Structure 1
Amino acid sequence: MKKYIIVLLLSCAILPVQLLAQSKTNKKQIANGAADRAFWVKTLYKMSYPVVHNLAEETLKKNMPLEKGDGYGLNVTKVTYLEALGRTMSGLAPWLALPDDDTEEGKMRKSMRQELLKGLANSVNPASPDYMNYRTESQPLVDAAFVAHAFLRAPKALWEPLDEITKKRFVEEFKSLRTRSGAYNNWLLFAGITEGFLLSIGEQYDPARVQFAVNKLKEWYVGDSWYSDGAKFSMDYYNSFVIHPMLVDLLKLLADKKRGSLNDYNTAVERMSRQAAYLERVISPEGTFPVYGRSMTYRTAVFQALAQTALIEKLPEGVEPEQVRCALTKVMHKMYDGNQNFDKDGWLVLGFNGHQPKIADSYTSTGSLYMATMGFLTLGLPAENKFWSGPALPWTSVKAWGGEMIMRDHKIEN
């Protein structure tokens, strides 16, 4: 076990043997996270490219597979394409918000941003073959919210460069959602974040939808960072998939606009930080984590709340950024080193770690799977940030199972 920990200190994810055998200079790069970041970038780019590139070329509907879970109950062609767009861009947004540079990563980022901007215009252009549906069905309430969340995460990169006609079209599509209501659970946040985005750009918004979402989540808080998903608690990862990330960002917006309490925002951040502590602890030394609850086809989106907490630099006391980097890198190597999660054309397949369609829910189709990008939010931190530049550190389970000194876990009262 001691040898195992020493190897981890050299490489966050026990990288391939040939990489570890390279020069001292390259070993230094491994130790300070450069190789980890390069792997994250390559993986996020690979995952996102089929969605973004095809939408830019107006071939998304033509080329994206339409795989569905057993008992699928939605109109797939009416919802899956907006699912793919909203979820992909929400995960990409912090990375795309970084400034341009001449590095290999910078060139990849610029190319992805340019194609996404082109695709966004196509997605709301009624004359485009890839025009997306906001006007019917309930599911667009969800995925319009992910589009809006992406705009909030990267306004200067993804919203401001759009032409005025495209901006007007998005506003009209978002407002059209008011003709429908969704489930009485985390879905309230979807309406809240979309209306919050309209507030952020000075458009007429519905304050009732925003306040209803905030008030109900306050009521549904059950303690120690956990919210029930509606009136009854569900043991799954929706606190990370949706609740903490969207609630924190919505409350920040309201506080910034003097429409909400700064104390409410700070409390939500404290709770998300505590949730991040849970998520860091469930990552095993091997990079696995418990597979339970709904929507496990979302893969690395399980760690969205941990990634966002690291992104805003609010990790809990005793959890270092470098150990989070190493834990998440290990997970991503475990899941994405092979091609088991992609088909021959690079699209995500229905499953958790491989093609496992039986694990899919009745609302899951190909577009749903791109929630997985949301585990990569911490790419929004620049390469020189401590998260990336610091030396590799073992995460909690590595230290615990290795007999190393660890601090006791404790609940929060807020």
Structure 2
Amino acid sequence: MNNNVSLITKNPLRTRKDVIELFHQISEPLLAYFSEGSARLHVGDTNAHYGHDIAGMEAFSRVLWGLIPLLAGGGESKLWKIYMEGMKNGTNPNHEEYWGEVHDFDQRLVEMAVFGYALALAPEKIWDPLTNVEKDRLYKWLNQINQKELVPSNWQFFRVLVNIGFASVGLPYDKEKQEESLLKMESYYMGDGWYSDGHNEQQDYYISFAFHFYGLIYAKVMKEKDQKRSREYIDRAVTFSEDYIYWFASDGSALPFGRSLTYRFAQGAFWSALAFADVEVMDWGVVKGLVLRHLRWWMKQPIFTKDGLLTIGYAYPNLMMSENYNAPGSPYWALKTFLVLTLSEDHPFWQSEEKPLPSLEKRKVQKHPRMIICHNEKQDHVFSLTSGQYLKSVHGQNDAKYGKFAYSNQFGFCIQKGIDGLGQGAFDSMLSLSERDGYYRVRKRCEVVKWEKNSLYSLWKPWHDVKVETWLIPINEWWHVRINRIDSYRELDTVEGGFSIPIEKDGVPTVPKVNQEESILQSENGVAVLLTLAGSGIRDMFGERTHTLVKTDPNTNVLYSSPTYIPSLKGSMEKGSVKWFGSAIFSSFGDEDPIPVWEEFPKVDQNEESFHVYYKGNIIYEAKFLK
């Protein structure tokens, strides 16, 4: 193991000094990978849709998200001399490493944002040392962003950051284009602190590490020049924090959901931005704990190469779950969380004693992301029941990242490796349907999504003549219920999966929680796997399906590289029939004996007018159908 990687795992991450040291530990292995003119970083040979040349510029720029806060907070880095040289060459049209003229929707427009950020936060480091000629070149290269089209999404903030950087050093900027981008982003605002990432059905981590992160930087830098908008951004971030805290578990991990998971600990950047903007939304010790526990959790994951470079993947290197815009240097966007390094040692963020998560509701309905989030602090388990999000752009594994019924910080979720069989399909937390040919379809875009009491209802069509209605109903920290009504004009096989559970962790086989013969519990209506790490199971509530354990291919789960077991139920339908499928999904973590909970499960009854879900003899949920 590279010495830096070893030191990262030993870094206690309790103090500002520790976090500064972490930045050095992550960034200094990059010293060997700069181009001759220092304007690019070549940290890998995989590619993205924009090609190797731009990918090298992207890698160069993304490290600045951590380097600039370090410098703005009074720190120093071995990298800075190289960065100044690279920036001068990259913006010089006469140099062979010139970053080039950009086009509409160009990836380099994304990477320009951090230079505006740098001009606003550390002008004495990046701007003042330049000659007049070098200043003019930097300005002209960045000003291209005011002449090009940006994707109608969080990209609009990139122009805003460049222009507030210009304003910070007294340069002219395009006020009309700036206002145009600000108004576009205003049109994405949904209320209650939530944006959509453009006019679409996507409310994922881009809301935290893009919209609010950039909005809080704007609020801090522009608080005197644009008081009204700055106040709005702060108020929205405060409201958003009341929902977003539920995405984090007490061990520091966060809910894996949506795209761009390879940015990893950027999930915690929102909390750093709150501190940067001096927004005292909750006890400073709580905010400090959210940031530091998150970093500690991530630094325990095998996310670095032996040379100390960040990899593409989530909890381990995994190209299969990546998007077409993930180049080797893309993961360094995670360094956004180092924004707290702008804060001096005497700031209340650093002076406060780290505190655990506050007391949270066990169940939180979040209407904008269309989630019911279940929180179990005792088991460090956070899972969401989800319906209705989907991505218009096909970047890779959209069905797995947005369309599943449930997502979990402890079980993760699986992606599809291939189309040959259930092991490659890895259909955890999904209902998959096949025309009896081995090719399966799952939920993609929902045609209808609505809240029904405390459940989440969706209507979706895997084929134009197959209609599926789904109710997702939380019961408690161990159980949730799914009711599916399928109206089909096709002969179908169906497979429904619970949470996937790894066969080994960190290269060590998971030891059964009970003896080997009893680690897989089978009953008339279900199957469960009970291992030391966790327990996962599924029960059929109508008694028509058979249970099975699906063993997935390795590297399909975003948290665990080993194959996983998915407790599953198999069923079938004849052409022109309507069928009800009900399942109770079991999950368990920690030392508590799971067997008594597994044996006392939710039940359901159903007729032509309604269905009722019971647990321990009490009605938990009732749905009446419209005729």
Gaps of 5+ in 2: 1-7, 363-375, 379-627
Identity %: 24
Tell me if structure 2 keeps the 8 A contact 1:51–1:84: no
Per-residue deviation, 1:210: 0.5
Q: Deviations over 1:119-138 (max 9, x none)?
A: 33233244655433453471
Distance (whole Å) between structure 1 residues aligned to residue 165 and residue 222 of structure 2: 10
Q: Deviations over 1:52-93 (max 9, x none)?
A: 67549635647421323xxx422232x212322332212332
Structure 1 vs Structure 2 CA RMSD: 3.0
Amino acid at match of 2:62: R
Residues 1:272 and 2:237 aligned together: yes
Tell me if structure 1 keeps the 8 A contact 2:38–2:85: no
Distance (whole Å) between structure 1 residues aligned to residue 40 and residue 68 of structure 2: 22
Distance (whole Å) between structure 2 residues aligned to residue 126 and residue 36 of structure 1: 43
Residues 1:86 and 2:61 aligned together: yes
| 2:354 match | 392
Distance (whole Å) between structure 2 residues aligned to residue 249 and residue 327 of structure 1: 19
Residues 1:144 and 2:112 aligned together: yes
Tell me if structure 2 keeps the 8 A contact 1:221–1:227: yes
Show the 5 A alignment for 1:29-44. Answer: 35-44=14-23
Per-residue deviation, 1:240: 1.8
Which deviates further from its counterpart, 377-386 or 241-250? 241-250
The number of equivalent residue pairs is: 357
Amino acid at match of 2:291: L
**Which of 281, 287, 293 is the equivalent residue of 2:252?**
287
| 1:358 match | 320
Tell me if structure 1 keeps the 8 A contact 2:39–2:85: no
**Which of 158, 161, 166 is the equivalent residue of 2:129?**
161
| 1:376 match | 338
Per-residue deviation, 1:238: 0.7
Change (3 A) 1:289 1:168: same
Distance (whole Å) between structure 2 residues aligned to residue 164 and residue 56 of structure 1: 25
Q: Deviations over 1:331-353 (max 9, x none)?
A: 21221235x21223322111112
Q: Between Structure 1 and Structure 2, whose CA radius of gyration is higher?
A: 2
**Which of 272, 284, 303 is the equivalent residue of 1:321?**
284
Distance (whole Å) between structure 1 residues aligned to residue 198 and residue 361 of structure 2: 36
Show the 5 A alignment for 1:11-410. Answer: 35-51=14-30, 54-55=33-34, 58=37, 61=40, 63-68=42-47, 72-77=48-53, 79-99=54-74, 106=75, 109-126=76-93, 130-136=97-103, 138-250=106-218, 253-254=221-222, 256=224, 258=225, 260=226, 262-316=227-281, 319-337=282-300, 340-396=302-358
SS of the aligned residue for 2:190 comes to: strand
Distance (whole Å) between structure 1 residues aligned to residue 31 and residue 214 of structure 2: 23
Tell me if structure 2 keeps the 8 A contact 1:82–1:133: no
Amino acid at match of 1:58: G
Of the two structures, which has the highest relative contact order with CA contacts closer than 8 Å and spacing of 6 or more?
1
Change (3 A) 1:270 1:369: same
Distance (whole Å) between structure 1 residues aligned to residue 264 and residue 67 of structure 2: 16
Amino acid at match of 2:300: D
SS of the aligned residue for 1:111 comes to: coil
Tell me if structure 2 keeps the 8 A contact 1:49–1:112: yes
Tell me if structure 2 keeps the 8 A contact 1:52–1:112: yes
Tell me if structure 1 keeps the 8 A contact 2:247–2:255: yes
Per-residue deviation, 1:325: 1.9
Distance (whole Å) between structure 2 residues aligned to residue 350 and residue 192 of structure 1: 28
Higher normalized strand content (fraction of residues): 2
Distance (whole Å) between structure 2 residues aligned to residue 331 and residue 39 of structure 1: 14
Tell me if structure 2 keeps the 8 A contact 1:95–1:380: yes
Distance (whole Å) between structure 1 residues aligned to residue 100 and residue 107 of structure 2: 10
Tell me if structure 2 keeps the 8 A contact 1:151–1:159: yes
Gaps of 5+ in 1: 1-14, 20-29, 100-105, 404-414
SS of the aligned residue for 1:157 comes to: helix
Distance (whole Å) between structure 2 residues aligned to residue 296 and residue 358 of structure 1: 12
Tell me if structure 1 keeps the 8 A contact 2:217–2:277: no
Distance (whole Å) between structure 2 residues aligned to residue 381 and residue 248 of structure 1: 14
Distance (whole Å) between structure 1 residues aligned to residue 41 and residue 292 of structure 2: 34
Which deviates further from its counterpart, 111-120 or 294-303? 111-120
Change (3 A) 1:402 1:145: closer
Tell me if structure 1 keeps the 8 A contact 2:154–2:198: yes
Distance (whole Å) between structure 1 residues aligned to residue 377 and residue 305 of structure 2: 37
Amino acid at match of 1:196: I
SS of the aligned residue for 1:366 comes to: coil
Tell me if structure 1 keeps the 8 A contact 2:150–2:156: yes
TM-score, with length taken from structure 1: 0.77
Q: Deviations over 1:126-180 (max 9, x none)?
A: 4655433453471111111122122222222332233333222111101233443
Tell me if structure 1 keeps the 8 A contact 2:37–2:85: no
Tell me if structure 2 keeps the 8 A contact 1:276–1:309: no
Distance (whole Å) between structure 2 residues aligned to residue 402 and residue 356 of structure 1: 29
TM-score, with length taken from structure 2: 0.52
Tell me if structure 1 keeps the 8 A contact 2:188–2:195: yes
Q: Deviations over 1:217-268 (max 9, x none)?
A: 2222111111122122412111122212223434555554x4x4x1221111
Distance (whole Å) between structure 1 residues aligned to residue 253 and residue 351 of structure 2: 24
Distance (whole Å) between structure 2 residues aligned to residue 304 and residue 341 of structure 1: 18
Change (3 A) 1:389 1:245: same
